[in-house]
Amino acid sequence: MKDILRSSLLYDFYGELLTKHQQEIYEEVVLNDYSLGEIAEERNISRQGVHDLIKRCDKTLNEYEEKLHLVSRFEKTKEQVERICQLADENNMQDIENIARQILENY
């Protein structure tokens, strides 16, 4: 999985467990692709400080995944839902397809 996609999934699942400050900076740098320099200037902290904060967040997010496995479980559920949708579609079972898609929306 590409780094940015993985970071984004980890953040979707565990971002709420970071502090508000960490969330804001992580979103700006990792999800919205601002540069370390831009955020450092905006926040009046050092470039190195922003870099370290991001590293620490990545480590925290990965530690939660090692314990809870939500991203890997989600990937598996997604495959199963897609298989159900395919079978439902082949058999004109629109009801089933709709409910199966809702399962992914819960996440």
Q: Is 4 in the site for a copy of itself (CB under 8 A)?
A: no
91 binds a copy of itself (CB under 8 A): yes
Interface with a copy of itself includes 48 (CB under 8 A)? no
Does residue 22 interact with a copy of itself by CB under 8 A? Answer: no
Please tell me the distance from the alpha carbon of residue 13 to that of residue 1, in angstroms, as a whole number: 16
Q: Give the DSSP H/E element, type plus range, for residue 48.
A: helix 47-68
Name the minimum Å distance from CB 44 to a copy of itself.
29
Smallest distance from the beta carbon of 47 to a copy of itself, in angstroms?
30
Render the burial of 60-84: b for 16+ CB within 10 Å, e for the rest: bbeebbeeeebbeeeeeeeeebeeb
Backbone angles phi, psi at 30, to 5 degrees: -85, -45
* Chain contacts with a copy of itself (rule: CB under 8 A): 13-14, 16-17, 64, 67-68, 70, 73, 76-77, 80-81, 83-84, 87-88, 91, 93, 95-96, 99-100, 102-103, 106-107
